[in-house]
């Protein structure tokens, strides 16, 4: 129809962008302003928070790793062409030997690390199948969620713990 225009008051779709590396939609406000002002893409990380019988699985970082001795959730870098949920399932298998039946999105955490900004895509892995067998024989433990805050964990995990409290 001549002279008519389509108008919308919702312009959020204009600002959404898709990260080619991981295929994840990033909306305004999700990335920290410090990260954006640096113009450095964050390293995309996928984490799985395994929950079985009301307990959460954590593993301890090895002596040869950065942040050695701290407790963390299984996870790692998202590979090219991989979506975050696939990466979380793969990392869970590789690091613990467990197979996720389902992976439910929990939260996204942007951590402005002094060296490299990180974006964590965090998933709940309820009732994973298998026996725990960590890579490299790293220590691991099934912990009551109330006790997670007492563990020495990387700073970025504090935001994950807050999200976990709301979901469990």
Q: What is the pTM of this model?
A: 0.75
| Domain 12-167, CATH homologous superfamily name and number | Nucleoside Triphosphate Pyrophosphohydrolase (3.90.79.10)
Give the Cα-Cα-Cα angle 24, 30, 32 (nearest 5 degrees).
125
pLDDT digits (tens, 9 = 90+) for 145-167: 999 999 999 988 988 999 998 76
Q: How many residues comprise the chain?
A: 168
Distance CA 28, CA 17 (A): 9
In 3-state terms, what secondary structure has residue 11? coil
- Does the pLDDT value for residue 140 go beyond 50? yes
The single-letter DSSP state of residue 99 is B
pLDDT at position 135: 84
Share of the chain above pLDDT 90, in %: 61
């Amino acid at each position: 129809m001549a002279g008519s225009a389509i108008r919308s008051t919702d312009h959020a779709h204009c600002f959404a962008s898709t990260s080619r590396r991981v295929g994840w939609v990033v909306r305004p406000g999700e990335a920290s302003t410090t990260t954006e002002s640096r113009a450095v893409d964050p390293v995309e990380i996928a984490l799985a928070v395994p929950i079985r019988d009301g307990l959460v699985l954590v593993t301890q970082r090895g002596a040869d790793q950065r942040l050695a001795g701290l407790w963390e959730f299984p996870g790692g870098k998202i590979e090219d062409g991989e979506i975050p949920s696939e990466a979380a399932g793969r990392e869970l298998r590789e690091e613990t030997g467990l197979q996720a039946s389902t992976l439910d999105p929990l939260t996204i955490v942007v951590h402005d690390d002094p060296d490299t900004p990180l974006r964590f895509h965090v998933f709940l892995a309820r009732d994973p199948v298998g026996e725990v067998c960590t890579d490299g024989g790293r220590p691991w433990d099934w912990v009551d969620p109330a006790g997670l805050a007492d563990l020495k964990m990387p700073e970025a995990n504090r935001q994950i713990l807050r999200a976990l409290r709301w979901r469990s």
